Amino acid sequence: KMTKPADSRLVLLGNPGVGKSECTYRHTTMVDDENVSMEILDTAGKGESIHQEGNINWGEGFLLVYSTTDRESFEDIVNLHQHIASVKKTQNFSCVLVGNKNDLTHERKVGQEEAEQLAVDLSCCFFECSACDGGEAVDESFKELHRDVVRRRMVNSMRR
Ligand code: GDP
Ligand code: MG
């Protein structure tokens, strides 16, 4: 049986422990009244995988995930973004910035405002979420990334 290719290929990136899970999965959901399928690749953190370049080449959109309780994971996002740009050979790629674990209010090390500023610098959307709380914001970050992938695809095809 032939499987229809996913409508977008999304990749989770971020330091170990920030709250990604461990598999590639297909996620079907409604985005702007359309039923879309996203293929989502979960990856190991930097230095954990030698396959990262393959993952980045494969992906069309990237969730840059840090933990609101882990400053280093936030500071490493800039390097992650640069790394994707160097693999993709362009700054023009889809990504969203995701600060996870915001349920751990007493362990917060990264402010919301500085993360919003980083998102401005990277020209992307920003979401804070908790993977534990049922993940409504997680879902919204995937949808927004999907929208950006589709938007960028359309713009790039008109350029050609
Ligand atoms: P990964 O290395 O990025 O894949 O991180 P994991 O998904 O393995 O998560 C690392 C740890 O953080 C696990 O113990 C998770 O249960 C925990 N975790 C993940 N997301 C959250 C969250 O939103 N809130 C809290 N409190 N813990 C989380
Ligand atoms: Mg993991």
Quick: pLDDT tens for 108-150.
999 999 999 999 999 999 999 998 776 788 889 999 999 999 9
Residue 2 has pLDDT above 70, yes or no: no
Q: Provide the pLDDT for residue 46.
A: 55
Nearest CA to ligand 1 atom 18: 19
Average pLDDT over residues 20-28: 76
**How would residue 28 be classed by pLDDT, with cut points 50, 70 and 90?**
confident
- Answering whether pTM is above 0.90, one says yes
Residue 103 has pLDDT above 80, yes or no: yes
Q: Does the structure's ipTM exceed the value 0.90? A: yes
In the chain, what are the helix, strand and coil shares in percent, each to the nearest 5?
A: 40, 25, 35
pLDDT tens digit sequence for 53-97? 889 999 999 999 999 999 999 999 999 999 999 999 999 999 999
Centroid of ligand 1 to alpha carbon of 80 (angstroms): 19
CB of residue 17 inside a 6 A radius of ligand 1: yes
Q: Provide the pLDDT for residue 38.
A: 94
Instruction: Encode burial over 112-143: b for 16+ CB neighbours within 10 A, e otherwise.
Output: eeebeebbeebebbbbbbbbeeeeebbeebbb
CB of residue 102 inside a 6 A radius of ligand 1: no
**How would residue 159 be classed by pLDDT, with cut points 50, 70 and 90?**
confident
CB of residue 133 inside a 6 A radius of ligand 1: no
Give every strand in the sheet of 61-67, ordered side by side. Answer: 24-31, 34-42, 8-13, 61-67, 94-100, 125-128
Atom of ligand 1 lying closest to residue 129 CA: 23
CB of residue 130 inside a 6 A radius of ligand 1: yes
CB of residue 67 inside a 6 A radius of ligand 1: no
Centroid of ligand 2 to alpha carbon of 42 (angstroms): 7
Best probe residue, ligand 1, of 48, 101, 106, 141 (max atoms within 8 Å of C-beta): 101
Q: What three-state secondary structure class fits 117?
A: helix
